[in-house]
Amino acid sequence: MKILPSRWQALLLDVLALGVTLYGMANVMPAIGSFRLGPFPMEFFRATFFAACVMVVGLGMGMPKFGGATTSRGLKLGSTLSVGVLLWASWSYYEVGMAMADDIVMFGIKESMIALAASAAVLFFCWHIWGGAVSLLGVLGVAYLIAGPYLPGPLKTVAGDVHELLAQNLWYNLDTGILGSTFSIVITTVFPFIVLGAVLEGVGAGDSMIRIAFAMMKKTAGGPAHAAVLASGLFGTVSGSAVANVVGTGVVTIPMIKKRGFSKDFAGAVEAAASTGGQIMPPIMGAAALVMADYVGVSYLTIVLAVLVPSIAFYLSLFLMIMFETRRLGIKADASSIDVPAPTLQDYMNLVLIFGPLVLIVLLLVAGFSVSGASLAAIALLFPLSFINPAVRERPMLLIKALSAGGTTFAGLLTAIAAVGIVISTLAATGVPVKFGVLLSTAMDSSLLVALIIVAMGCTILGMGMPTLPAYVTVAAIALPSMQALGLQPLTAHMFVFMIAVASTITPPVAIAAYAAASISGGKPIGTAVQASRIGIMIFVIPFAFAYEPLLLTVPQAGGVFSWSDYIFLIVRLLVAMYILASALIGFDVRQLPWWQIAVRFVACVLIFAPGHLSTMIGLGLTGIALAEHWLVRQKTAVSA
C-alpha cells in the first residue's frame, strides 16, 4: 500500500530537496571566511538542516534514487519510524544544546537512549542507501563504545559513565558524534560543490562532452576506449562520483568499446577506471579532497596543485594501457565503427557551461576566496550561462530540478557522513588510533614500505562498498597521526590515504564502480573489477611514489625541496615507469613480451622509485636494456620476414 501516489511523492520529494538546497546555501553563504553558520546558533542550524535532510531521505527511500525500484511494507515502516526518531532526536539536540550554552548539563538514561535511537535510525538509512560496509562500521563503533571497558587486554578502554559516554560521543556534541565537526565541515565545504555538480549535470553539457571526446579520438586505434577516458575525465571532475560517472558516460562509451573488439570485462574496466580517476581530477575532484584541505589546514588551491601531476599521470597511464591492448589484439583505427553523432557548433558552445564555472573557481581560489565562496559564485554564474543551451531556454525549470537533485544527493551522502561520525567519535573515545600507531611504529622498525602497505590495505578494506569521502575520513582518523609520526608531512599522508580511498571503488571483491560498469557491459563483476585494477594500477602506485618522493606533489607543504632539475628528472622517471609497467601488465609492447621481459620491467619499475640514487640508475639501466633488446628483436624479425 502506497503512502502517496508516486507522482505526488516525487513532487513532494523535489520540493523538500529544493528546500534543503536553498536553506543550506543561505546558511553557508555568510560562513565565507568564518566557521559560524548563518544567523542562527549552530545547534539550531545543524538540528534543522539534519532534520530536513532526514525527511528527504525518508520520502525518497522507496524511490529508485535511494531504495531501489521496489518498496516493501517493512521498508516503508522502518523509514517512517526512523524519520520520526531522528526528528525527535533533532529537537532534543537543539534543546540540550541551548541549555548547555547557559549551564552545565548532566546526561542520563533519557539522553543516552535518544543517542542510541538516533544512531540506529541513521544506520538504518545508511544501510539501505550505501550498503552494509559503512553501517557495519557504525554498529561495531557503538558496540565497542559500550563494551570497551569490559573487554580484555589491549581492546579494553577506560571505564566511565555509560550514559554520558553514549550521549556525548554519539549525539549531543558540537565536536564529535553524528552532528559533530565532520558534519560541519561537510556542510560548509562539500555541500556547495555537490549542488554545483548537480547544476552542471542538469544544464545538459554531458552529452556534448561525449560527442566531442569521440570526435577527438576517432582516428586512434583505441577509438571509443580513449574517448571514454577523455569523456570520463571531463565528466568526473564535475560529478566527483565514480558510480555517477560510470552511469553518465558508460551507457554510451561501453557499447562502443565492445564494438571496437575489446572484451566485455575490458570495456567495463576502462570506463570504471576512468570514472574513478574523475575524483582526483582538478579543479573540483571528489568531496574528500574538499574535506582534506580543511583537515590539513591548507588552501584548496594547494590541494589542486598537489594532485595535478598524479591525476594527469593516471589518465596518461590509462591511454598507455589501451594502446598496448589494441596492439595485442591487433585492433586498427576505424572511424566508421563509431555511431556517436559528430559534434555540432552547439556542442562546442555547451563546453562554456563546464569550463566557465571551473575557470571562475580557479581564479577565485587564486584570489584568496574560500572554497564555499568560489563554488557559490560558480553556481551564480552558471544560471545565466545555462541559457546558452536551447534545452534550458525551452525548459528553465531544468535549473530548479537540478537544485533539487543537489539537495537529494547531499541528503543521501549525509547518512554516510553521519555513520562515519559515529565511527570517528568511537575512535576518539576509545583510543584506537593510538593502538594502531603502535602497530605502525612496530612495522616501521622493518621499513616505511611495510607501514604504508598496512595503511593501504586498511584503507582499501574499509573503502570497499563505501563512498570515497567516508572511506577517507574513517582511515584518516585511524592512521594519519601514526603516518605523520613516521616522517610523512600531513599533506603527503592525507593525499596517500585519499588516493587509496579513491582506488577502493575498483578494488575487488567489492568494487562499486566496476560493478556499475559490468551491469552495462554485460561482463562479470569480479572480472571487470580485476581488469579495472590492472588498467588503473597507477592509482595504487603513485601514492607510494610520492610517499618516497614528495616532490611529485609539487607544493612545498608535501615536504619536497623544489628544484627544476630534480623535478624534471622525477617526471621523466615517472613517465618511464608508467610505460614499462603498462606494457608489462598487458604483456605486449611492439610485440608479445616473453616472461623474462615482463619480470625485468616489473623490477625496473620498482627500482626507479626505490630510495637512493643508485637504485634509480639501476632501474633506468634495466629499462634501457629491456627496451633495446625488445625493439632489436622486433627489427630482426621484421627484416627476416
The 10s digit of each residue's pLDDT in 606-618 is 898 887 788 889 9
Highest mean pLDDT pick, 156-165, 414-423, 531-540: 531-540
Question: pLDDT tens across 381-390, in order?
Answer: 888 888 888 8
Q: What pLDDT was estimated at residue 441?
A: 61
Higher pLDDT, 177 or 604: 604
- Is 415 within the bounds of a domain? no
The answer, yes or no, to whether residue 204 has pLDDT greater than 80, is no
pLDDT beyond 80 at 181: no
177 and 192 fall within a common domain: no
3-state secondary structure 129-164: HHCHHHHHHHHHHHHHHHHHHHCCHHHCCCCCCHHH
Least confident of 442-446, 533-537, 541-545: 442-446
Domain end position, chosen among 129, 156, 182:
182
* Identity of the highest mean pLDDT range in 13-27, 130-144, 546-560: 546-560
Helix (H, G, I), strand (E, B) or coil at 204: coil
- Please report, as a single letter, which amino acid is at residue 572: V
Lowest-confidence segment of 111-125, 224-238, 322-336, 528-542 by average pLDDT: 224-238
456-496 pLDDT per residue, tens: 877 777 666 666 777 777 777 777 777 777 778 889 988 88
Per-residue pLDDT reduced to its tens digit, 495-515: 888 888 888 878 876 677 787
Across residues 351-361, what is the average pLDDT? 81
HSE of 424 in the Cβ direction (CA atoms, 13 Å)? Answer: 26
139 belongs to a structural domain:
yes
Confidence of residue 579 (pLDDT cuts 50, 70, 90): very high
- Of the listed ranges 85-94, 201-210, 310-319, the one predicted with least confidence: 201-210
Nearest residue to 606 via CA among 552, 563, 562, 544:
544
Q: Are residues 170 and 247 in the same domain?
A: no
Report, as an integer, the average pLDDT of 354-361: 81
Residue 130 resides in a domain: yes
Is the pLDDT assigned to residue 640 strictly greater than 80? no
The answer to whether residue 553 is domain-embedded is no
DSSP 33: T
For 336, residues 6+ apart whose C-beta sits below 8 A from its C-beta are none
* pLDDT score, position 314: 92
Q: What is the pLDDT of residue 18?
A: 81
CA distance 246 to 272: 6
Separation of alpha carbons 479 and 404, rounded Å: 37
71 has a pLDDT exceeding 70: no
Collapsed DSSP state (helix, strand, coil) of residue 592: strand
Distance CA 415, CA 636 (A): 63
Assigned domain for 592 exists: yes
Say how far residue 382 (Cα) sits from the centre of its chain.
Answer: 24
Overall domain count for the chain:
3
CA proximity to 586, closest of 396, 365, 324, 395? 324
Distance CA 173, CA 493 (A): 28
Q: Is the peptide bond before 149 cis (omega within 30 degrees of 0)?
A: no
Inform me whether the pLDDT recorded for 65 exceeds 50.
Answer: no
Of the residues 135, 151, 182, the one at which a domain ends: 182
Q: Is the pLDDT of residue 66 over 80?
A: no
Cell of 248: 553518465
**Model confidence band, residue 571 (pLDDT cutoffs 50, 70, 90):** very high
The fraction of the chain above a pLDDT of 70, given in percent, is: 82
Strand partners, 546: none
- Whether 220 and 359 map to the same domain: the answer is yes
Boundaries of domain holding 377: 186-395
Residue at 537 is within a domain: no
- State the pTM of this model: 0.75
Q: Does position 355 have pLDDT exceeding 60, yes or no?
A: yes
Asked if residue 548 belongs to a domain, the reply is no
Q: Do 235 and 94 share a structural domain? A: no
Residue 296 pLDDT:
83
The pLDDT, as a whole number, for residue 463 is 64
Say yes or no: 350 and 241 in one domain: yes
Q: Are residues 164 and 230 in the same domain?
A: no
The x, y and z cell numbers of residue 554, run together, are 609539487
Reported residue count of the chain is 641
- Check whether residue 27 and residue 175 sit in a common domain: yes
The answer on pLDDT for 251 being more than 60 is yes
- 500 part of a folded domain: no
Q: Are residues 138 and 270 in the same domain?
A: no
Q: Is 212 found in the same domain as 155?
A: no
Of 342, 370, 395, the position where a domain reaches its end is: 395
Please, what is the average pLDDT of the chain? 78
The pLDDT, as a whole number, for residue 33 is: 41
Burial class (CB in 10 A: 0-12, 13-18, 19+), 193: buried
pLDDT of 6 strictly over 70: no
- Averaging pLDDT over each range in 39-53, 385-399, 428-442, which range is the top one? 385-399
In which band, very low, low, confident or very high, does the pLDDT at 69 lie, cut at 50, 70 and 90? very low
Give the model's pLDDT for residue 630.
Answer: 80
Average pLDDT over residues 340-348: 77
CA angle 515, 516, 522 (to 5 degrees): 80
C-alpha cell at 170: 554519539
Q: Average of pLDDT values for 201-216?
A: 75
Contact 10, 65 (CB under 8 A): no
If asked whether residues 116 and 212 sit together in one domain, one would say no
The mean pLDDT of 338-343, rounded to a whole number, is 69
Average pLDDT rounded to a whole number, residues 571-584 = 92
Residue partners of 492: CB distance under 8 A and separation at least 6: 546, 547, 550, 553, 558, 559
pLDDT at 529: 85
90 and 38 assigned to the same domain: yes
CA–CA dist 535, 315 (Å, integer): 10
Going by C-alpha positions, the residue among 137, 124, 142 that lies closest to residue 82 is: 124
Residues 205 and 156 in one domain: no
